[in-house]
Every structure is written in C-alpha cells, then in structure tokens.
Amino acid sequence: MIMKMNNLFVYCEIEDGIVADVSLELLTKGKSLAQQLGCKLEAIAIGSHLSGVEKQVFPYGVDKIHIFDDERLATYTSLPHTTILVKLFQKEAPQIALMGATCIGRDLGPRVSSALGSGLTADCTSLEIGDHEEKKENKIYKDLLYQIRPAFGGNIVATIINPECRPQMATVREGVMKKEVFSDQHIGEVVCHNVSEYVTEEDFAITVLDRHIEKSKCNIKGAQIVVAGGYGVGSKENFGLLQELAATIGGEVGASRAAVDAGFAEHERQIGQTGVTVRPKLYIACGISGQIQHIAGMQESSIIISVNNDPMAPINTIADYVITGTVEEVIPKMIKYYKKNSK
Amino acid sequence: MSLRIIVLAKQVPDTRNVGKDAMKADGTVNRAALPAIFNPEDLNALEQALRLKDKYPGSTITLLTMGPSRAADVIREGLFRGADNGYLLTDRAFAGADTLATSYALSKAIEKIGDFDLIVCGRQAIDGDTDQVGPQVAEKLNIPQVTYAEDILGAANGLIKIKRRLERGVEVVEGAMPLVVTVNGSAPACRPRNARLIQKYKHAKTVTERQADDTDYTELFSARPYLNLPEWSVADVSADVVQCGLSGSPTKVKKIENVVFQAKEHRSVEPTDDDINGLMKELIENHTIG
C-alpha cells in the first residue's frame, strides 16, 4: 500500500531570482492535472537568495513549495540538483514530476530518472490523464499520465505511459503549455530544507568558470503578429522584406527550420517542433511549405495567412487566407496599404 | 598526457529525408524505406574525440554502438575517420529498449571495455530527439556529465575544460575525469573519411557479416586481427537480461498516430492590389493589426 500523498511536483528553473516562464507554464498545467487527480501541486526551487520566491508561484496554485537555498547552488550544475531531487522524491513519492525541456531540464531529468529507475518522456506536446489496460496480464492502470509527443522527426505522434514506475516524469518545451494565474489569493505552504542534509562535497565535481547570458534579442513567443519565412523566401535579402512588414505592422519575424538551416534567419527565430511554439493573433507564412514540424509550432495561431507561389503547399490546408504569389510581389503591397491607411 | 576516449554512436534512420513511403499503412514507421545513417550529433562528438587525439598523441578512441548487425557500418565509419577500434552491442534481448534500458546496456559494455578518461556522444539521436542517453549512462556509471558541449577546450592534470552552448549564452565548465560529455550539433562538423584508413579498414567485419559472406576470410583475419569487429551479447557484457530491452524499459508506447491536420476552409486572395488592399482593410477593421 502506498501511504504517501503522491502529489504532482514541478521543478522550477530560476535565473536571477526569477522563476522561468516554462516553469510557470508547467505549474499551470500541473494544477489542472492535480485537480483532475485529486492531489496537491508542489513546486521545487533550488538556488541561492531565494527568499520570497514562493510569492511568484503561489498564484499558479502551488500548495507547497520546497526551497533549497544555499550559496553553492547559485549556478546550476547537474549533480547537486540531481541529488536533491532524488532524495526528495524518495521521501515524498510523487506520482508525477514535470520539468522544462530546456538545457537544464534535459540535463537533470534523465539523470534523476536513471537514479530512480523511473521512466521519462522528453519534449511532450500534450499531457493528459487516462487509464490503461494491459490485456495480456488482465491488469487495469487507473489515472496514468499520458505523455504525448511527436517522434520520428515529427512524422508520428506517440502516447507514452509509465505503468509501473513512479514518478512518471516528463519534460515540456517553453511555450507549449499556456501560463495562466490560478488565483491571486492562493497561498501555499513553504518548506525550507537544510541543503547539507541533501548534497555532499562530491556533488560539486563540476565548476562553472565562466558564464555569460546573452539576453534574447527577439521576443517571438509573446508577439501578437508573426511574419514567418521559409526556404521559399529564397534569400536573406528577401527576408528583409519580411522584417519591413513586421516592423510596419508591429510584429516579429519568424522562420522555418529550412530557412534557418539556409542561413536566412537566426536560430532563435525558428518556429516549430525543434524551435519555439507561437500562438499569435496573426501568422503570415511566407514561402513556407508547411512541414509537420513547422505546423506543430504555429497551428494554434488565430488567423493564418499563407503567401506561397505553390497553390498546393500543405500549409494552405490550415490557412484562413491563401495568397498564391511570390513574397516580392505580395509583401510590398501589404506594406504600402498599411502605411497609407493606418493612423 | 594521453586520453582513453569512448565514443557512443548510434545508427539512425534519416528522419530528415522522410519520403511518402516512410510510413506503412498501419501507421508504423517503415524503417526499411529510410536510409540508415551515422547519427549527426554523434559525428560532432567523434570530431571532438579526434581533435583530442590530435592534441594529445597516444590517445585512443574506442567506438561503441548498439543495434542490429548492420550497425557495424557505424564502427567502420568511425575507423575510416580515425577511431582505433570499436564494439557492436547486438542481441535480440536489447530490442525495444527505451533510453533507460539502452543506457544500462551501454554502461555494462563500458565496464567491460575497462578504464577510460572520457566518454563522448552526441546530444541526441534524430530518431528519438530525447537527449537522455548521455546523462543516463553517466548516472549508471556514477560519474559526472557535461551536456550541450560545443568545444572540448583541453585537458590537464586530470581536469578537462569544456565550453557549453545553452539557450541564451555560453558557459565554460571544468571537471575531473572520468566524465561523460554530450556534444551539440553546433560543434564543428566531423572530418571526412581518410583514404589511407579506408584502405586499411575496408574489410573490417563482424563475425555475423563474415558468416553471411561466401569469401573465406580466415587468412586475412588471422594476419590482421584489427579487422575483426567484436560483437557483444547480453551475456558478453554480464548484463542482467531483465534490465535490457523491452522488459528493462519503464516507458511503454501506448499508441502511435500519424500526424493529420484538420483542414480548414480558406479564402483565396489574388496577389493583385485590389485583393490585397481588401484583405488588409479587413485585418485593420477587425483589429487583427493596427
């Protein structure tokens, strides 16, 4: 018999005292899953100078936050964070543990899952609760976490489950789940752990000698309008037209993987399964054929306009407006009209 | 100083060039229709190992791969580019492994290989995109890991210095060997095959491959033992069969679906001034833009 609470845990990434968006997105998703399961939502914060960090996460419905505050934990390294999670999970026996599919989550998650012998699914695009029947053994598993993710370069979608092992672990990319405040009034419990009871000197085997964060130049994820270009845009020069349109109507420039690989746009502008997920009010897809990988990252946009000289481009099937023409002829017309007619 | 380096490499279907026949009617992947290639980021990892070997003469590079018998291609590719030897971990009992069962099998093979200073592998394989095996192998061997490496800067006095490429910047870390390094696709591309090494290793074969072939290799292989590519089974690496393959995998695939997008009704707009002005007018009026 399992006597523990078996709650849902979210590992929070913290940079300069600020909880990362991806973690808040996971708390939002975690809260709704926890409500469905009838369990509590617990957050984990590991770092230094964390006083007050709970105020950032309580509005997202966190019932309990575990804080590990220590000077030595100022910069992330794999081992101390792994040791803390492994020991905490052994004590608390969570049924589900979620973390961001970031450089940190994808470094930490596999190591924790290996130490606990539990399963981990990377890069989930959807998380649901459901049952599973093992026909051969005539066994029914109730309320499992369905970890849904694209596989094989986005050509298939697989639903993964961990019937026997706990916690059921999953990572999710930034921007995939929606961040939404649960209640401004919500208050949870704060538990400050003694870090020395968890980590040992051997856990600090890796030293960070130098680290410089380059702040992101573009904010494509939060943009209300995205003007995105694909390989069909043809050149870096033509991408200039997209920049001009984006600047005119107040949007950001995005790109498909093919356009990034061709050097037309920077990697941080890549939209799709291996880039960022966006859901703007308006998405103008220029010269983008519409590979599944790309569509996965933009299909929830409210209005999609496709500008493509191929009327059969797959992206047209999900577009609201299809303009069959080239970027060079269409985009300048849009810029011209907007400049003349906006106040 | 010389280093003993193990490179983990995987043979993968080339998911970047998926044609129409890549999926079978039942929605499963038709692996036979996809060309099998050396996982791209594992090539970046091999290059990092080769650069260390150039820098520290006397260093050795051992390739380790797990897969069916045709995965011996990966070892030959590595030998053609400068690796010293390689092992193919192959057994039906390894089939159906998730990342955890894979990491377990690899860690047992690494224990059998013996002493090493460094394990390098690609950050992720393009067929799974999980980037889990590197950190999990490190955990199984109880040694540290450095992920997202872009450049292994150098080693001295048992310490190794590595530059990492993260989402929004770079980080330089240092740690004591042995450790596991996973290499990013942003690291330098692998050098091409070397003509002399192709000549040397073109007949390198596993026992299975030799048996499938009519030629009598006995003389050749006794004269040049380096042409024999060892194959290891579950028993050869003293692995617990329950922890391998499907039975050793906590994650199960519940279902697989083809990706189908809901087609929407769309309005066609001609690339004429009138049509585009009309569209822009509509977007401004309904406050989509402006």
Is the previous residue joined to A167 through a cis bond, with omega within 30 degrees of 0? yes
- Listed by number, the residues of chain B in 13-72 with a beta carbon closer than 8 Å to a beta carbon of chain A are 13, 15-16, 18, 22-23, 27, 29
Mean pLDDT value of segment B81-102: 94
Contacts of A120 (CB under 8 A, 6+ apart): A109, A110, A112, A113, A169, A170, A171, B99, B100, B132, B251
**Measuring CA to CA, which residue among B184, B192, B50, B164 is closest to residue B121?**
B184
What residue spans define the domains of chain A? 8-204, 225-341
Percent of chain A with pLDDT over 70: 97
pLDDT at B18 over 70: no
Contact B96, B67 (CB under 8 A): no
Cβ contact B238:B113 at 8 Å: no
Domain formed by A225-341, architecture: 3-Layer(aba) Sandwich (3.40)
Please write the tens of the pLDDT for every residue from A16-55. 899 999 999 999 999 999 999 999 999 999 999 999 999 9
Say which residues have a Cβ less than 8 Å from residue A112's Cβ, sequence separation at least 6: A82, A85, A86, A89, A97, A120, A169
Return the minimum-mean-pLDDT range out of A6-20, A30-44, A201-215.
Answer: A201-215
Stretch 80-139 of chain B: residues touching chain A, C-beta under 8 Å: 98-100, 103, 126-136, 138-139
How would you class A254 by CB atoms within 10 Å of its CB: exposed for 0-12, middle for 13-18, buried for 19 or more? buried
* pLDDT 10s digits, A146-172: 999 877 766 678 899 999 999 999 999
Q: pLDDT tens digits for B165-192?
A: 887 789 999 999 999 999 998 889 899 9
ipTM of the complex: 0.86
- CA torsion sign, B133 to B135 to B138 to B139? negative
Q: For position B126, what pLDDT does the model report? A: 79
* CATH number for the domain whose boundaries are A8-204: 3.40.50.620
Closest-CA distance, A190 to chain B, in angstroms, reads: 30
- Alpha carbons B111 and B93: distance in angstroms, whole number: 19
Whether A78 and chain B come into contact, CB under 8 Å, resolves to: yes
Nearest-CA neighbor of B151 among B116, B195, B184, B113?
B184
Query: How high does pLDDT run on average in chain B?
Result: 90
A43 touching B, CB under 8 A? no
A160 at the B interface (CB within 8 A)? yes
Topology agreement, domain A8-204 and domain A225-341: yes
Task: Characterize A206-241 residue by residue with b for buried, 16 or more Cβ atoms within 10 angstroms of its Cβ, and e for exposed.
Answer: beeeeeeeeeeeeebbebebbbbbbbbbbeeebbeb
* A52–chain B Cβ distance below 8 A for any pair: no
- Cα distance between residue A218 and residue A207, in whole Å: 30
Lowest mean pLDDT among A138-142, B78-82, B283-287: B283-287
Domains and CATH numbers, chain B: 4-248 (3.40.50.620)
pLDDT tens-place string over residues B122-165:
998 877 777 899 999 999 999 999 999 999 999 999 999 999 98
Instruction: Retrieve residue B199's tokens.
Output: 């000549």
Q: Does A109 touch chain B (CB under 8 A)?
A: yes
Indicate if the pLDDT at residue A326 is higher than 80: yes
Contact B259, A156 (CB under 8 A): yes
Give the Cα separation of B26 and B34 in Å (integer). 17
Rounded CA separation A132/A149 (Å): 18
- Per residue in A58-94, pLDDT (tens digit) is 999 999 999 999 999 989 999 999 999 999 999 999 9
**Interface contact flag, A165 B29, Cβ < 8 Å:** no
Give the DSSP letter of residue B258: E
Instruction: Check whether A224 has a pLDDT greater than 60.
Output: yes
In this prediction, residues B73-87 reach a mean pLDDT of 97
- How does strand A139-151 pair with strand A156-161? antiparallel
> Nearest CA of chain A to the CA of B290: how many Å?
6
* Angstrom distance (rounded) from CA A336 to CA B182: 49
pLDDT at B269 over 50: yes
Contacts of A60 by beta carbon, 8 Å cutoff, 6+ apart = A24, A27, A28, A31, A179, A180, A181, A182, A186
